[in-house]
């Protein structure tokens, strides 16, 4: 859908070079936003930005787990595109293993990227949003953060942490005109979920009432709604986009 609800606004999407983040960047650009894509691979981020509808987008190399890098790249984004009014914390990764085999570094990496990454970008953008008395933050968590999942205790903890973070930021910034919500995708077909074999996929599909895996666009259109004016009275919510996996 082409319209212009984000005209004059700048959106920053972490992990917008692939998968769900790329689809989110596409929806926000289609709504008229100038979009900044951040990812560790700056070339991939720039390539994704150059393929978005409209113009004025850009890609930046940034590891969201690194707070100094986030602070300096946020400054670079704002001097190139203008003040960021929409932040989507989407960058994330998994390092799955059963509890006894999880290494310290598996725990730390997943926490640092998924949870601390969202904190780093949010903190870097909060002052400006509060001053302008407007802003929207959307955190991409996971249904696994709500239900837990055997073999994903590190990932589920990071995603559950994002839920607490979302609700706290929503409470803290509401009086300053800033909304913060989370979207919890179920099973979405991307590079992240590619690794499962046929048997695992079939078992998973049987647990989805709507009977199919999700596409990145299924999530991206919900993010567009939450970022836009129709969601002006919604803050602190976690919206599952999962075909009914968690009811």
Residues assigned a catalytic role: 155
Between 68 and 100, CB nearer to ligand NDP: 68
The residues in 148-187 that bind ligand NDP, with binding defined as CB under 6 A, are 185, 187
Residue 93 found at the interface with ligand NDP (CB under 6 A): yes
Q: Which long-range contacts (CB under 8 A, 24 or more apart) does 142-150 make?
A: 142/184, 142/185, 143/184, 143/185, 143/186, 143/240, 143/242, 143/245, 143/246, 145/184, 146/184, 146/238, 146/240, 146/246, 147/246, 150/98
Q: Is position 92 an interface residue for ligand NDP (rule: CB under 6 A)?
A: yes
Binding residue for ligand NDP, selected from 9, 14, 121, 235, defined by CB under 6 A:
14
Tell the smallest beta-carbon distance from residue 223 to ligand NDP (Å). Answer: 11
Stretch of 10-18, 120-128, 199-207, 223-231 contacting ligand NDP, by CB under 6 A = 10-18
Report the interface residues with ligand NDP, using CB under 6 A.
Answer: 14-15, 17-21, 38-41, 44, 62-65, 90-93, 113, 140, 142, 185, 187-188, 190-193
């Amino acid at each position: 859908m082409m319209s212009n609800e984000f005209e004059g606004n700048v959106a920053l999407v972490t992990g917008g070079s692939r998968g769900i983040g790329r689809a989110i960047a596409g929806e926000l650009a289609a709504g008229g936003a100038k979009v900044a894509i951040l990812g560790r691979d700056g070339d991939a981020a720039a390539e994704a930005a150059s393929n978005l509808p409209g113009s004025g987008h850009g890609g930046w190399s940034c590891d969201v787990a690194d707070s100094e890098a986030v602070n300096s790249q946020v400054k670079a984004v704002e001097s190139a595109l203008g003040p960021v009014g929409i932040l989507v914390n989407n960058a994330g990764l998994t390092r799955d293993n059963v509890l006894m085999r999880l290494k310290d570094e598996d725990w730390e990496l997943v926490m640092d990227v998924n949870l601390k990454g969202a904190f780093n970008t949010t903190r870097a953008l909060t002052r400006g949003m509060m001053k302008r008395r407007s802003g929207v933050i959307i955190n991409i968590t996971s249904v696994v953060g709500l239900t837990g999942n055997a073999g994903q205790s590190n990932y589920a903890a990071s995603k559950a942490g994002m839920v607490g973070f979302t609700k706290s930021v929503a409470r803290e910034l509401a009086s300053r005109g800033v909304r913060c919500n989370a979207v919890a995708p179920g099973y979405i077909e991307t590079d992240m979920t590619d690794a499962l074999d046929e048997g695992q996929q079939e078992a998973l599909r049987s647990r989805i009432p709507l009977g199919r895996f999700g596409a990145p666009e299924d999530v991206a259109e919900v993010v567009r709604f939450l970022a836009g004016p129709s969601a002006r009275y919604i803050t602190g919510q976690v919206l599952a986009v999962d075909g009914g996996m968690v009811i």
